[in-house]
Structures are given as C-alpha cells and as structure tokens.
Structure 1
Amino acid sequence: MWNRSHFTEGLPGGHNSSSRPVAATVASPWCIWFPLRKTRYQNTFIRLCPLVFGIVLICLALFSKSDLHQIAHPRSDNKLQGSINTVASDPSYKNEVVWWRELLCGERARPDQEDTEDPIVLKQLLRDIEPDVKDTNVFLIETSCDSNPLYRYWCSVESWAQLNPEMKVWFVLTSVTVDNADSLHRDLLRGYSNLQIVGAHLDNIFAATPANKFFKSGNWTQNMDWVVATVSEMLRTALVWLYGGFYSDTDMMCLTNMKNFTNAIGVEGGHVVNSAFFTMQHRSPYLGQLLEKMTLYFHPKWWASIGVAGYTQEMRKECAKDNIKMDEQKLPMTCRNITVYPPKDFYPLLYDKIPQIFGDGTGKDVSKVFNGSSLFHVWNKLSSVNVIKAKSESIYEVVTKRVCPITYRHAVRHSRYF
C-alpha cells in the first residue's frame, strides 16, 4: 500500500525530519546575533533566551504529527461531506463496540484497532442515512470488517455505478471506517454521484426485519469458519426486502445497464439458484419467507445454508405453487412473478473456467464470450489466489479496464499485479 509518510516529510515530527529540534534550527542564529548588538538589554536577553527556546520546544512536542498533517492537508471537499465524515467529527469513533462486531470482527472489533492508514468514518445505514424505497437501489456488501477492501471489490462497485447512472449504488461495510490512503474512495465518490459508501449497524437493520430474533440469538456464529459468509447472506436478504432493488456480490462485474430487470434471479448451473445476484421489489414475499425461515434453513455445518441452499429451496416452492418444475432447459421461466434466468445471463463463465478468466491473452474475444450476458462472476472464493497482471490482456483485465476505469488506474499505478 502507498506509504503516506511523504506527506509529513520535512515537517516537525515527520517521518524523515531531522533529529535536530526545529526550534533550535530556526531560532539559534537569532540568539547568537542579538547579543552582538550593544544594547542596555543585552544581559537580560541572554538570561531569558534559553527559557524562551525551552517553551518553544515543549509546544512543538505537544503539537503532534497528526495535527500538522491536518493543517497541511485539510479535508475541505464540500462535495463529499454528504457521504463521509473525518474521524475527528465522530465522537463515538473510539468507543463504539457492539456485541455482533466482537463476534464477527475479532481483533478488529474496535474502530481504533482497524488497520487503516487514513481512516474516514462512514455514515451508518439507518442511523445517519437511509435509502429510499425504490427498485433502483443496488446493494453490494463487505462483511469481514475490512476497512481496506480489495481492488476487486471496488471494481465491482464501480461497474454498477458507471453502467447504471439512474440507480443508487450502496456499498455497505461492517467496518466503521474506510481507508483512503490511496484516495480511491474519494476518487470514486467524485466520479459517481450515484454512489454511497456506508457502514452497517446490524442491530438497526435486522430490528426492522422478520430475521431479528435469529440475528439476536447469535446462532449464526456456531461455525466461525464461514460466519462472514453467513452474515453476508443474512444482510443481502434484509436490505433488498427492506428497500427493494438489486443485490450483487463484490465479485460480480456489471457489463450492461440493468434497468430492464425486475424480480429476477439466476441459475448458476443444474438446478441451483445462486444468491450472488438478484433483484426483488420492496417487501418481496419470496425474501420475506427466507427471512422468516432463517432459523429453519440455517445449519452450522453447511456452507451457504441460508444462501444458495435456502434460495433454491424457496424458489422451487414458488414454482410449485404454479405447478412448474424448475428446469434449466426451459429457462427463462417465471414463477409467482419472479423470473429465473439461465446461466448465460448472469454466470456465463463458471468456476471451472477460472484459468481462462485470468490467463494471459484470453481477453481477445471478450465480446464473443459475453455476448448476451449482463453480469460476469469471477468466483473470488475460488480465484483469490489468481494474480491479475497489468497488460496481460486476460478476460478479467480487459473487462476491468472497461467497466471500472478509476479502480483499474489505482490498481496498476504502483504495481503490475493486483
């Protein structure tokens, strides 16, 4: 990560400042010169000079490095004040520790323990800011309490904001702060007026849903190996049920404008409905059933028990009400006002194509690969070890340059890999 220490180079207390006290450097010549003048106050001044310099040195010691940084680089961008707050402006920043954050975040539970170089305190959803109830909301979430999300995540967020200017894109984090050390956060907010980056106070969110009892029980922590994924499944269902709109995983890249989709979900393969992307209306009965049955569907030994498994089971029930058997060969098909789409629409490359997604030179025919597709899933859980190389012309790189240009420029600014 970009080292911000150069901001304070040459300043008192800065990373590379001289070990010689600044006050002595500035004032010593004056002390030497003044006594050379023949005045009646010479002896008095010589006695007082060390005392004055001592006071100056004490003041400089108390005037911390962070204070100097704030003076040299004030955050005065009025355009962004609606989306962000500085740490100093939030008195609860150092003290806010809630039970679910201790369980979910571990050592990063306290805001002041987050690994953040240049922290910006996020407005909290439902406490400080709230989405309108509209089918044009887009929610992407990060539930590992990471204040410095991967460039891949930011790319997904940007792709939605860029290609859907008429929609409101919400990037919701369980972290209290976001790291702005390389200024990507600010650049994205400047570039897209339809983007909001906010924190999630889970107590407030789930209190307004049928899943509140399950959330408060803490049963979702029974298997800590995938507790982050479990909370992600819970939160996505709650947010779209509360406000309506779209949900997208942060490894789903938007390839086209999505305004023509409503009450839609996709099959990833076989008969499995994937919860990595869906769009539903406010208070969707389908999502309401999932929220009410989370206690029933949740199984601590099964990954995605309230995600893929729960979504698939509930979708089959919806189709059964219309005497329709969910069959991949007959997709797209509509069950109880929800349209189920085939893999080509949202999952054109399955996880067995990961080598192709990241392989050098595979992006030459990207328009053919994604012909008729609206989204592109890169399967982060399985592809996280795959390095993205700048100028490799892989499918992933070609797509990122087109759909998330700001993130791409930041990612390759200091390294050939991201």
Structure 2
Amino acid sequence: MRLKESKEAFQIHRLAKSRRFLGILFVVGMIYGFVSYDLVHKKKQRQGRLEVHLDSTSSNASHLSSFEQNYIMQGNVSWSGELQCPSQGTEIGSSFLRLKNFMEDGEWREEGAFNIFLTETSCSSRPNYRAWCSVESMAHENPEGLVWYVMTSPEVDLQDGLVKQLLGRHKNLRLVTANLSEIFDGTPLQELYHSGAWNSDTKWPAANLSDMLRLAIVWLAGGFYSDTDVICISPLTGLRNVIGLAEYNLVNGANFHFDRHHPMLEYFMVHLNDHFNPYVWGENGPRTVSAVLRDVCKEDVLFQDLECEGVRILSHAAFNPVQPNGRVLLFQRTQEKNIRKRFPYSYAIHFWNRMTHSQPVFKNTDSVYDLAAASFCPISRRAATQNSPYY
C-alpha cells in the first residue's frame, strides 16, 4: 500500500516538474519572440524610416496637421541610400507637371545670374498656399533674379490652377526637381546624406534634409536662400555674402546669400556633418551656423555688422523684424497698412512657421500677414481664399 502511494506521489511530482519545465520554456519562448520582434522592427525603422512617417499623399492628407505637412515625409517614400519620392502623374492627361532636373538646367550657371533658392523637402507635389506665397513674393520682388523652387517631388500638382498662373505671371520663376545624390556628392555632406542619419529616429526628417540641402545647393550654384515661411517685401539682388541675426547672439539660416564655393559654406557643411543631431530642433540650422560663425570670427557674441571671412551679419530687422517671442503680432491688425513703411529696414518678414503653423490668416483683417500677402503674393492669396475666408 505504501509502495503504491509512493509511486503515485512520484508520478505526481514528476508531472508537476514537467509542467514547470514546459512553463519555463513557454516564458523563454515568449521573451525571445518579443526581443526578436523588437530588434527586427527597430532595424526596419532604421532602414526605412521614411516609409513609417506617412502613407498618404499630400493631396489627400487633410488628417495631418500643418506642422506635419511641412516637416515629415509625405507619400509612399522609400529610402535605400537615395531618396525616392512617389510619382502621381505618370499617365497621359494627368494633372501633374513633370519637373525638370535642376542639375540639367544650365541657367543657374550663367555668369551674372542672381539665383534665389527655396526648397520643398517632404516629397509633397502640392505645397501649401503659404509656401507658394513665399515663392511668389520672391519672384514678385526680384524680377531680375532667377527664382528656383527646388522640389524633392518629381512633379507638381496642377489641379487648382495656381501653378500655371504663377508661371504665366512670373517669367523668372523656375520649378525643378532635385537629384539629391548629384547635389550632395562631392560636398562635405555627402557621407551624412547617404548614411540616412538625417532620416533615422527623428521627428522631422524633411526639416533635417532642408538644413542640408540649402547649404549644398548654394555652395554648388551661389545665390540667396530663403525658407518658405518668409514673405519678401523688397528686392534682394543687391545683397552679397550676408546672413541675418534672429535673436541675441543667434543668426538664422532661414535667409542668407553666399557666392558659389564660399569658404563659410564649407565650414557650415563640415560642422553639420561632424555634429549632426536629429533629436533637437534647430540644432542643425541656426545653432550650427551660429556656432561656426562664433568660431571662425573668434567672437563670443555675434552682433550687427560683424564682418569676417568676407561675410557680413545683418541686423535682425533685415529678415526677422518680428522676433519669435512677438510672433503673435504678425497675425493681428496693424495700424500701418503699408508693409514697407511698417518694416522700413526689412528685405523680408519671417513668420516662424514652426510656432505659427496652426494660426489662421483671415482675409481682409489688416493683419501683417494678410497685408503682406495682398501686396507681394496676390495670386497665391487669391487662390487660398477662393473657397475659404482664411488660409
């Protein structure tokens, strides 16, 4: 009897032990599965980060905030050492204009040409109206210059008729696409571009790419660069090798002019390549150019009219007459209706899109933005308000 009970107890013990062993195996298997999935998922994120950000095109991205439409990639974008933006207009009769490659256009190489560059780096084929306002204002105020809107998208959307109107009115406006390898190769940013670090583990790959592209394209061609949250209010063609203060001891890379192959641009690119930071907003833009200028000019503080290496720093009034902490004033009624009189020492007005993208501009309210748009980008403003009281 005792022998039988002992055998039964042994069997029960062995069964319990087996179950514990199987339980351990199950837990280990689950842990292994989770770890493996996490590693593979992160690897895919690193290899194809661009594809994660958006799965809809700009013309069908109404669910995205204005901020997202400006700073992350749009459409089924792919990355394999080279940015590949999607094409929407390959069919005959499409409402898309296929863009010429910037590198194949020889006009910017012509002696005496004053080039003005703006860029679209999110792969959008349909930039927003504020971006077109900026482009139009540059063409409007600089009829003797060549205004280049360099887009990463291979085409531009023609559906609302705005692009055709702008091209018909401003004969100095050029819409082109960019083969980025052709632009970056041979510059200090070649390694950074092809590494894809600008696109990995960051909230704003399009902004990172913009910080890089502006330096490389002005290095390549020479000319004036402007962000697309700027309205030009006076001609720029008299400026040469200048950059403007934004705040105390900080210059802004949103507007600048440099001659082709200017050594300061090379310093900027080398610093950006060596100290690229995808995690902090502004680190690759204003903080980069400010750090380099302080180092090259051997000054602890950057100030108006400082000159070194053939570069002059302009006052904040030149491009940033309203500083970030006063940005709300740009969208409020102003007593002075003449924008040039309101900003007599300014070439352009920076509207600080990162902080004001959600602020609507109401038509005929005498705000600084709407008055500037009415005077310097009337075609874009008319298109923006055709079916809406604000834009």
Secondary structure of residue in 2 paired with 1:413? coil
Letter in 2 for 1:285: P
* Equivalent residue, structure 1, for 2:118: 140
8 Å Cα contact 1:264/1:280 also seen in 2: yes
Shift of 1:411: 1.6
Give how far 1:119 is off: 1.6
> Which residue number in structure 2 is paired with residue 170 of structure 1?
148
Q: 1:244 to 1:146 in 2, by over 3 A?
A: same
Change (3 A) 1:378 1:272: same
Decide whether the 8 Å contact of 1:334 with 1:340 is kept in 2: yes
Correspondence for 1:219 among 197, 204, 222: 197
Compare relative contact order (CA 8 Å, sep 6+) and give the higher one, 1 or 2: 2
Q: What is the correspondence of 1:102-251 to structure 2 with a 5 Å cutoff? A: 109-112=85-88, 118-127=95-104, 131-132=108-109, 136-251=114-229
Amino acid at match of 1:318: V
Once the two structures are TM-superposed, the CA of residue 110 in structure 1 deviates from its matched residue by 2.4
Partner of 1:310: 288
Picking from 274, 279, 282, the partner of 2:257 is 279
Residue number among 351, 359, 362 corresponding to 1:389 in the alignment: 362
Q: 1:277 to 1:100 in 2, by over 3 A?
A: farther
User: Would the aligned equivalents of 2:264 and 2:309 in 1 still touch at CA under 8 Å?
Assistant: no
Give structure 2 stretches of 5+ with no counterpart. 1-75
1:2-49: CA deviation from partner (whole Å, max 9, x where unpaired): xxxxxxxxxxxxxxxxxxxxxxxxxxxxxxxxxxxxxxxxxxxxxxxx
Kindly indicate whether the alpha-carbon contact (under 8 Å) linking 1:141 and 1:172 is maintained by their aligned counterparts in 2: yes
| Residues 1:415 and 2:361 aligned together | no
Q: Aligned pair in 2 of structure 1 residues 297, 157: CA closer, same or farther (>3 Å)? A: same
Deviation at 1:327, TM superposition (A): 4.1
Structure 1 residues 367 and 291: alpha-carbon distance in aligned structure 2, compared to 1, 3 A threshold: closer
The DSSP-based 3-state class of the residue aligned with 1:401 is helix
Task: Supply the distance in 1 between the matched residues of 2:220 and 2:82 (Cα, whole angstroms).
Answer: 22
- Return the letter of the residue paired with 1:380: N
The SS at the match of 2:253 is strand
Aligned residues: 312
* Counterpart contact for 2:245–2:252, Cα < 8 Å: yes
| TM-aligned CA distance change 1:218 to 1:113, over 3 Å | farther
Task: Choose from 283, 302, 307 the match for 1:334.
Answer: 307
CA distance 1:113–1:363, change in 2 (3 Å): farther
Q: CA deviation at 1:238?
A: 0.3
> Could you tell me which of 325, 329, 342 is aligned with 1:369?
342
Name the aligned partner's letter for residue 245 of structure 2.
V
Assess if the C-alpha contact under 8 Å between 1:135 and 1:282 holds in 2. no
Give the counterpart letter for 1:125 in structure 2. F
Aligned mate of 2:327, from 342, 349, 354:
354
Distance 1:228 1:151 in 2: 18
Distance of 1:413 and 1:205 partners within structure 2 = 38
Match of residue 80 from structure 2:
99
Is 2:317–2:346's contact at 8 Å kept on the other side of the alignment?
yes
AA aligned opposite 2:98: V
Root mean square deviation of aligned Cα: 2.4
Distance (whole Å) between structure 1 residues aligned to residue 297 and residue 77 of structure 2: 45
Amino acid of the structure 2 residue aligned with 1:126: M
Question: Which residue number corresponds to residue 11 of structure 2?
Answer: none
CA deviations on 1:140-162 (whole Å, 9 max, x unpaired) are 00111111111111111111111
Assess, with a 3 A threshold, how the Cα gap between structure 1 residues 248 and 96 changes in structure 2: closer, same or farther.
closer
